[in-house]
Chains A and B, each alone.
Chain A
Amino acid sequence: MEELKEKLKRILIDEIKIQGMTPADLKDDMPLFGDDGLGLDSLDAVELVVLVQKHFDVQIADMEEGKEAFASIASLANYIHQKKS
């Protein structure tokens, strides 16, 4: 699971291009969306859905799944882990 979280952090930094942060700055429980977290927006959500599919072959099909998966890095890792197992 730790490896999965690290991979997600690397994807967020390298591919979503979160400005001014390194993977080490990202905390597992940090919200991905909203001003009190990483501040991603709906266009970033599109990218994230595509990247999760591309890197993990897991589809996030609707906002209910999105709410569960996109709460934080830890919840996204959990979601992917559950879908893969």
Chain B
Amino acid sequence: MTPASRPLGGRLKIRLEALGHGIFYLTLRLFGQLGAYLLLLPVIAAYAATSRKIGRKTAPYLSRRFPSAGRPGRWLAMIRNLTSFGQVLVDRAWLGIKDGDLRGEFIGYQQLEELVNRGRGVVLLTAHVGNWQTALARLDSLPTRVHALMRYDQEAAAKHYFDLRDGRRPFEIIDSEGPWGGMIEATAALQRGEVVTIMGDRLVKGSAVTVDLLGDPARIPEAAYFLAGSVGAPVVVMFAAKTGRKSYQLRVWDSWYPRWENREQRAEACRNSGARFAKNLQEYLDEYPHQWYNFYDFWQQ
């Protein structure tokens, strides 16, 4: 659809969004990160007060993560969730525009590096939690090439972040929309001993495993475990978290080798791997309950 052929409401929405972004960028340039954080507060308050849609989008997660919270408690959790997300967006723009100084610690980097140095490739599994784009940006220190299997154009937040950095990306994109879902390139990269990062939470297409997350079954992609097990690479779970106004943490939460002797064992091995990832994700959410950024009904995907 060309811009001119969009309905008036759609065009207006796009212009208002562009205006909103412009105001945030101007605030960032003039008043820095803190100024933009302050601007977030009235915007989020107004959004939360007037938009029913955002309530519907956050409810599937918040009702499971805070099951005993009453209406006010759930509303507060939504505000904290949105504020946390807004701050990550601000940080990303701030890093891109001003090369802002975020202090990061990387727990488990040595373990990750050791696995990379074994030369069997590494499937680095992460999720849409915390400031995960920052995590991807830190991977340039690994002693091998890093690839990200994703629909880059659909990952608007990541695209925005890395495009702001003059297109300097610390990883190469493998387009998951390409033929065979990018799996041939991903397999070849692992065979060369390189790293392939995959978002392990969102199921866009392809085969899935059903896991328990926050007390209910959810479907997550199977491809990462299949890929790792097929080439003999380890799966490494790494999540990022914003830990302060100017600090963040990357942590390797777990690592293992999915293994199977035959096709009969394969499905079970992938299911077990999915369950292990979900357990890691739940532990992360116990620690950082407001840094979940899948704003849709994750349990219906």
Residues of chain A having any CB pair with chain B under 8 Å: 17, 33, 41-43, 45-47, 49-50, 53, 59-63, 65-67
B183→A43 contact, CB < 8 A:
yes
Q: Which residues of B contact A43 (CB under 8 A)?
A: 183, 206-207, 222-223, 226
Query: Per a CB cutoff under 8 Å, which of A47, A50, A59, A67 touches B179?
Result: A67
B223→A63 contact, CB < 8 A:
no
14 A-B interface contacts by CB (under 8 A) = A42-B181, A43-B183, A46-B230, A47-B230, A49-B187, A49-B188, A49-B191, A50-B191, A50-B230, A50-B231, A53-B191, A61-B184, A65-B184, A66-B179
Which of A46, A53, A65 neighbours the largest number of chain B CB atoms within 10 Å of its CB?
A46
Q: Chain B nearest CB: distance from A62 CB in Å?
A: 5
A49→B184 contact, CB < 8 A:
yes
A60→B231 contact, CB < 8 A:
no
A66→B184 contact, CB < 8 A:
yes
Which of B178, B179, B184, B226 neighbours the largest number of chain A CB atoms within 10 Å of its CB?
B184
Contact with A along B165-202 (1 / 0, CB 8 A): 00000000000001111111111100100000000000
Query: Per a CB cutoff under 8 Å, which of B179, B191, B231 touches A63?
Result: B179
Q: Which residues of B contact A42 (CB under 8 A)?
A: 180-181, 183, 206, 223
Q: A43-B223, A46-B227, A67-B179 are in contact. Are A61 and B263 (CB under 8 A)?
A: no
Tally B residues with Cβ within 8 Å of A.
21
Beta-carbon contacts under 8 Å, B247-271 to A: 263
CA–CA, A49 and B183, complex, Å: 9
CA–CA, A31 and B293, complex, Å: 41
Q: Chain B nearest CB: distance from A8 CB in Å?
A: 17
CA–CA, A63 and B185, complex, Å: 7
Q: Chain B nearest CB: distance from A42 CB in Å?
A: 4
Nearest residue (CB) in A for B185 is A62
Q: Chain B nearest CB: distance from A64 CB in Å?
A: 9
Q: Which residues of B contact A17 (CB under 8 A)?
A: 263
CA–CA, A56 and B230, complex, Å: 16
Q: Which residues of A contact B223 (CB under 8 A)?
A: 42-43
Q: A46-B187, A46-B227, A50-B187 are in contact. Are A63 and B263 (CB under 8 A)?
A: no
Tell me the interface secondary structure of chain B in the complex.
helix
Q: Chain B nearest CB: distance from A54 CB in Å?
A: 10
Nearest residue (CB) in B for A65 is B184
Q: Which residues of B contact A47 (CB under 8 A)?
A: 230
Q: Chain B nearest CB: distance from A74 CB in Å?
A: 19
A61→B185 contact, CB < 8 A:
yes
CA–CA, A4 and B187, complex, Å: 23
CA–CA, A43 and B231, complex, Å: 12
A45→B184 contact, CB < 8 A:
yes
B184→A63 contact, CB < 8 A:
yes
Nearest residue (CB) in B for A33 is B180
B188→A62 contact, CB < 8 A:
yes
Query: Per a CB cutoff under 8 Å, which of A45, A53, A61 touches B183?
Result: A45
B185→A46 contact, CB < 8 A:
no
B191→A46 contact, CB < 8 A:
no
Q: Chain A nearest CB: distance from B100 CB in Å?
A: 36
Q: Chain A nearest CB: distance from B145 CB in Å?
A: 13
Q: Which residues of A contact B186 (CB under 8 A)?
A: 46
Q: Which residues of B contact A59 (CB under 8 A)?
A: 188, 191
Q: Which residues of A contact B179 (CB under 8 A)?
A: 63, 66-67
CA–CA, A49 and B293, complex, Å: 35
Q: 7 closest A-B pairs (Cβ-Cβ)?
A: A42-B180, A42-B181, A45-B180, A66-B184, A49-B187, A61-B188, A42-B183
Q: Which residues of B contact A60 (CB under 8 A)?
A: 184, 188
